[in-house]
Amino acid sequence: MDKLIIQGSKKLKGEVEISGAKNAALPIIAASLLTSGFSTVNMVPDLKDVTTIGKLLTYLGAEFHYEKRKAFIHTEKIRTLEAPYDLVRTMRASILVLGPLLARFGKAKVSLPGGCAIGARPINLHLMGLEKMGADIKLESGYVIAKAKRLKGASIYLDIPSVTGTENLMMAAALAKGKTILENAAREPEVIDLANALITMGAKIQGAGESIIEIEGVDELKPIHYSIIPDRIEAGTFMTIAGITGSTILIKGCRMDHLDAPMMKLKEAGLVFEHVSDGIRVLGPSRPKSVDLKTRPYPGFPTDMQAQFMALMSIADRTSIIKETIFENRFMHVAELRRMGADITVEGGTATVRGIEKLKSAPLMATDLRASASLVVAALAAKGETTIHRLYHLKRGYEKMEEKLLRLGAEVRRVKE
Ligand code: EPZ
């Protein structure tokens, strides 16, 4: 296992190029299973999670090749419809093969993803939707076994606007017989990106990005040839880095229209944004202002930015109240930030962050992807040298983070444990 050693309290400067969105790449790569043929997906970030979904597709019998941010996928020879536990447990998003396999082959056996550090993360809404579309769903020794001669269109109301729930059902509905209506659907940009990719395959989808999505099933889809959107969470993370270090950073290649809520809150915290021809220049304040926050489904403030924002608030001028409303246990970063001197108390889903002048370095343990990002944010502002263990969490969702930080003048190095 690797660890990251960061010498903090340094001003950064320069520019950073945002990579493709992990949470768009994963469903779009899974969508290639909906058809037989040769698909290509461009702007795919070089991440552990991409390798994992590639391994899963290969296990199923597809040919998956990744080179220079492009995924090349042959799905002519699928030889098993079973996604095994030892692959699914390493990445929950593997559940995204359920909809496509069931829609194309009429059968799928996918290991239940199980919980993870941030919560139980059930998939009841995925299964409820597929049942409404006529699938026979059984749970047997930790696996979902789904069967359906041919899925049929249905009206499905999602109690929670689940992102991968919306994506799984949209992919299944694309090949169902008749029309499917998804109500209270997730509105994330990654859902829109998947819909756009499916439309290039010949799917008939209206309303992606709104709460009601209509899908008119077709008999067959063509392979994908598509370029995905940039990663709004990576862009938001680098904005937070500019904020906590009081630096000026040029962020290139991100979609500002995907970042309204995070930029509103970061502006309230004192960051200044300048739109320039090739990106957005972010100017960090000498000391951030305390801002209250509630995470919400898109277009609200994204839960995937909560931990990074909390690191910023830990050195803000007063007290901020942060409410995590999406996941039941997404405060794993709090204990680590406390070890750096942060003054944070947690009551249920609410964290009270009393800003202090300066964080102090400490040996830290990453627990999940976005918590590890928040430790990097904090370490860059802390006095002294911070070591972050279990770096593999970070590598799941951030492409070449240490190279990007080095180019910004950070003193950071990766060391083998
Ligand atoms: C997606 O996870 C993202 N992952 C997550 O990003 C992100 O944090 C999350 O959406 C929320 O925005 C991918 O897109 C691969 P949900 P997902 O289903 O789809 C409950 C990251 O850091 N729920 O929208 O699993 C669930 O427990 C990752 O990149 C049910 O109760 O999240 C949670 O409390 C972390 N039943 C809430 O809904 C269900 O059937 C939102 O979950 C499904 C979800």
Let me know whether 191 and 281 are in one domain.
no
Strand order in the sheet with 272-276: 13-17, 248-252, 279-283, 272-276
pLDDT of amino acid 117? 72
Substitution candidate for ligand 1 out of 95, 162, 294 with most atoms within 8 A of CB? 162
Residue 404: what residue type? K
Let me know whether 222 and 310 are in one domain.
no
Question: How far, in Å, is the centroid of ligand 1 from the Cα of 79?
Answer: 29
pLDDT of amino acid 230? 98
Let me know whether 241 and 354 are in one domain.
yes
Instruction: Check pocket membership of 393 for ligand 1, CB cut-off 6 A.
Output: no
Let me know whether 58 and 207 are in one domain.
yes
Let me know whether 74 and 210 are in one domain.
yes
Contact 292, 322 (CB under 8 A): yes
Contact 205, 217 (CB under 8 A): no
Residue nearest atom 7 of ligand 1, based on CA coordinates = 304
- b/e 183-206 (16+ beta carbons within 10 angstroms → b): ebbbbbbbbbbbbbbbeebebebe
Quote the DSSP letter at residue 87: H
Q: One digit per residue, pLDDT tens: the chain, 417 residues?
A: 899 999 999 999 999 999 999 999 999 999 999 999 999 999 999 999 999 999 999 999 999 999 999 999 999 999 999 999 999 988 999 999 999 999 999 999 999 987 677 777 789 999 999 999 999 999 999 999 999 999 999 999 999 999 999 999 999 999 999 999 999 999 999 999 999 999 999 999 999 999 999 999 999 999 999 999 999 999 999 999 999 999 999 999 999 999 999 999 999 999 999 999 989 999 999 999 999 999 999 999 999 999 999 999 999 999 999 999 999 889 999 999 999 999 999 999 999 999 999 999 999 999 899 999 999 999 999 999 999 999 999 999 999 999 999 999 999 999 998
Closest alpha carbon to 210 in 232, 192, 233: 192
Question: How far, in Å, is the centroid of ligand 1 from the Cα of 126?
Answer: 11
Question: Residue 113, Cβ neighbours under 10 Å: how many?
Answer: 22
From 227, 249, 278, the end of a domain falls on 227
Structural domain tally of the chain? Answer: 2
Let me know whether 72 and 215 are in one domain.
yes
User: What is the full DSSP assignment across 191-218?
Assistant: HHHHHHHHHHTT-EEE-BTBSEEEEE--
From 189, 208, 227, the end of a domain falls on 227
Let me know whether 44 and 109 are in one domain.
yes
Cβ-Cβ contacts under 8 Å for 296 (sequence gap 6 or more): 261, 325, 326
| Full residue range of the structural domain in which residue 37 is found | 22-227
| H/E segment holding residue 93 | none
Residue 318: exposure state from Cβ atoms within 10 A (0-12, 13-18, ≥19): exposed
Closest alpha carbon to 233 in 154, 295, 322: 295
Substitution candidate for ligand 1 out of 91, 160, 233 with most atoms within 8 A of CB? 160
Q: Which atom of ligand 1 is nearest to 164's Cα?
A: 19
Question: How far, in Å, is the centroid of ligand 1 from the Cα of 279?
Answer: 29
Let me know whether 198 and 95 are in one domain.
yes
CATH number at residue 268: 3.65.10.10
Euclidean distance between CA atoms 103 and 240, whole angstroms: 41
pLDDT of amino acid 417? 81
From 177, 193, 227, the end of a domain falls on 227
**Residue 352 DSSP SS3:** strand
Let me know whether 86 and 179 are in one domain.
yes
Let me know whether 61 and 206 are in one domain.
yes
| H/E segment holding residue 227 | strand 225-227
Quote the DSSP letter at residue 79: -
Let me know whether 282 and 384 are in one domain.
yes
Active site residue 116: yes
Instruction: Check pocket membership of 91 for ligand 1, CB cut-off 6 A.
Output: no
pLDDT of amino acid 289? 98
Let me know whether 40 and 115 are in one domain.
yes
User: What pairing do the DSSP bridges indicate for beta strands 63-67 and 136-140?
Assistant: unpaired
Euclidean distance between CA atoms 46 and 310, whole angstroms: 27
pLDDT of amino acid 115? 67
Main-chain phi, psi angles of 79, to 5 degrees: -110, -10
